Amino acid sequence: MKRVPLFFLLLLIIVSMVGLATNSDTIVEESIGSVPTLDPGWSYDTTSGEVIYQMYDNLIQYDRESTSKFLPMLSTNVPSVEDGTILDNGKTFVFHIRQNVQFHNGDILTPQDVVYSLERSVIFDRSGGPSWMLTEALMPKINGSYVDSITDWVVKLAGVKSYDDLFIEGTKTPKNERYRKALINAYNILDEAFEIKGNTVIIHLPHVYPPFLYILTHSRRSSSILDKKWAIENGAWDGKADTWWKYHNPTREKDPLYSIENGTGPFMLERWTRGREIVFKRFDNYWAGPAKIKYAIIKRVQEFTTRKLDLMRGNADIIYVPIQYLVQVNKLPNVNVYSYPTFLINAIHMTWDIFAKGNPYIGSGKLDGKGIPANFFADKNVRMGFAYLFAYKKYIEEAWYGKAIVPNGALAQGMVGYNPKVPTPFNQDLQKATEYFKKAFNGELWKKGFEFTAVYNTGNAQRKTALEIISAYARKINPKFKIRIAGELWPAFLSDFHNQKLPMYLLGWVSDYPDPYNLAWTYYGSTGVFGSSLGNAYIKWAQEHMDPLLTESMNTLDPQKRQKIYEQLNTLSHDNAVYIFTTQPQGLQVQKSNVQGWFYNSVRPGQDFYYLSKK
């Protein structure tokens, strides 16, 4: 065989890359994420979410930009009270399944596929995964609280302390018949939610759950519809009540659907080169009609400079641009830059009960000018002082280049329940900050001062900037106020966050779905991811003030009632300075000007290649 000189081989590769981006049938996106999985049941990140979005469909979809209006998808109807497909005061939903829809392998969609897919998502329940959303809606509460995992019901039915107690050590074999029956009965509780009549799927919720349609909508990967027959043939759950626990919480690489797909979406998987790129090919038998382009490619390119050069040279059509590089792409020829609102809320957190033992971040651990006590931020006057200390507008200009707004609470602009005037967002007011600090700890704080360390995750310059701003203004109003800034690698930061060792830090939450409960529970709930991390003092306070309102917001479908409840929650948070809400940032879409059909949707993970084309 004649050898091809290396020079010509490299030239061939370069030419082929340029050809892809310049080809009118192909769109190339360059981003920074590495795809962890192709299994909708596993996916809980934006990178894999964007990939799965192209290949799988859901029962319903958003009406383009809207995050509150729906259109049919694999269901030919969007359930509503008006047409009789939402019944029992919002607990029964009727879906008429679209007929003659093909999966990529040629199989035809059935109602059984829908039920299998949603049940598999619940029993899959991988650690740290997205299953909790469907589980909360589909399974009955325990002692008045939502169930986040099917294992909660198993534990209750079996009368054991933990799920692992049911199995012979190191296996997924139940220790006895009683435990095996508890596992089967837990599945039967889930299965009671589903009914199939002809070509219709009826879902019976055990309780009202206002976000339910959001959770079923395209963008939520865990509600994607799989081909039951294909999934079973490839080693996924066999659909039986007496085996489900064998498929529960798998490791990623042992998940049989980890690297393959068979959806009904407009694109099929052509090639996945892990850590480098993923290539989609148009599915010409797509039920809604074929996409305008034949190929879509997502490449992982870590360096911004490389992505920018590829955009300029025509090797890429769309690139990821961090906000700090906006000025470098704003005026590039033949490039369009769009900004759009996100459902991300960032806040500075102040831990009410800091874990003190051996904690270097609180100095002496006393209010003696050389540290802070563990209950430092449990004093409302301290929190109010910091809320008025922070330079909100300065931070947005310096760290976000003006591409953000100041939230007035946990709810994002654009959601039901958001009111820009209730409450009025905090503004920097050093006089008021001084007044509150002078009240704190009966005046002792102002006299003695304090020292502590505020922490950010290393590599996040915007979070570091926020903490530097608050440190600078603290020392400005009182030289005895000393805040050091320290960075931690993400694993260490996450561990210290969970163990309540961080006195002050900045974190944000992207809403899982565009219902206000998701953000409100996360920040305000006594069991919320952020609320519970503030310590026992906050948990006790939230149980009295926040939890009853959160529960009330989930017991009604009336949007006006929910609006008032969420305004109340935001006002309570504001008046007690539970958090210092810093930004609801905008996202950026940077693409060649010949790319057509793009529109934003705040909950969509990345691009929707189905609507894109080139002129």
Average confidence (pLDDT) over 556-581: 96
* Residues of the chain by 3-state class (helix, strand, coil), percent to 5: 40, 20, 45
Q: Which two tokens stand for residue 607?
A: 């691009």
493-546, pLDDT tens digit by residue? 999 999 999 999 999 999 999 999 999 999 999 999 999 999 999 999 999 999
Q: What angle do CA 303, 309, 326 make, to 5 degrees?
A: 70
289-341, pLDDT tens digit by residue? 999 999 999 999 999 999 999 999 999 999 999 999 999 999 999 999 999 98
**The amino acid at 66:** S
178 contacts 114 by C-beta, under 8 angstroms: no
407-446, pLDDT tens digit by residue? 999 999 988 889 999 999 999 999 999 999 999 999 999 9
For 177, residues 6+ apart whose C-beta sits below 8 A from its C-beta are none
For 19, residues 6+ apart whose C-beta sits below 8 A from its C-beta are none
Homologous superfamily of 344-586 in CATH?
A: Dipeptide-binding Protein; Domain 3 (3.10.105.10)
pLDDT (0 to 100) of residue 20? 54
Average confidence (pLDDT) over 1-13: 43
Three-class SS of residue 1? coil
Q: Which two tokens stand for residue 310?
A: 């590829």
Annotated domain spans of the chain: 6-32+266-334+593-614, 56-247, 344-586
What is 56-247's CATH topology? Dipeptide-binding Protein; domain 1 (3.90.76)
What is 6-32+266-334+593-614's CATH topology? D-Maltodextrin-Binding Protein; domain 2 (3.40.190)
Predicted model pTM: 0.92
Q: Which two tokens stand for residue 417?
A: 């329940």
Taking the C-alpha atoms of 86, 87, 88 and 92 in order, what is their torsion angle to the nearest 10 degrees? -60
Q: Which residue is it, tokens 């691009």?
A: 607
143-175, pLDDT tens digit by residue? 999 999 999 999 999 999 999 999 999 999 999
Domains 6-32+266-334+593-614 and 56-247 agree in fold: no
For 264, residues 6+ apart whose C-beta sits below 8 A from its C-beta are 56, 57, 74, 101, 102, 103, 104, 109, 225, 286, 287
307 contacts 301 by C-beta, under 8 angstroms: yes
Say whether pLDDT at 19 is over 70: no
Count of C-beta atoms within a 10 Å radius of residue 538:
24
Count of C-beta atoms within a 10 Å radius of residue 52:
25
Closest among 117, 167, 125, 165 to 148, alpha carbons compared: 125
b/e for 191-215, b at 16 or more Cβ within 10 A?
eebbeeeeeebbbebeeebbbbbbb
d(CA 211, CA 556): 11
Q: At what angle do helices 461-477 and 392-400 cross, to 10 degrees?
A: 150
352-394, pLDDT tens digit by residue? 999 999 999 999 999 999 999 999 999 999 999 999 999 999 9
319 contacts 336 by C-beta, under 8 angstroms: no
102-117, pLDDT tens digit by residue? 999 999 999 999 999 9
Structural Rg of the chain based on CA atoms: 26
pLDDT band at 15 (very low <50, low <70, confident <90, very high): very low
Q: What angle do CA 501, 505, 507 make, to 5 degrees?
A: 115
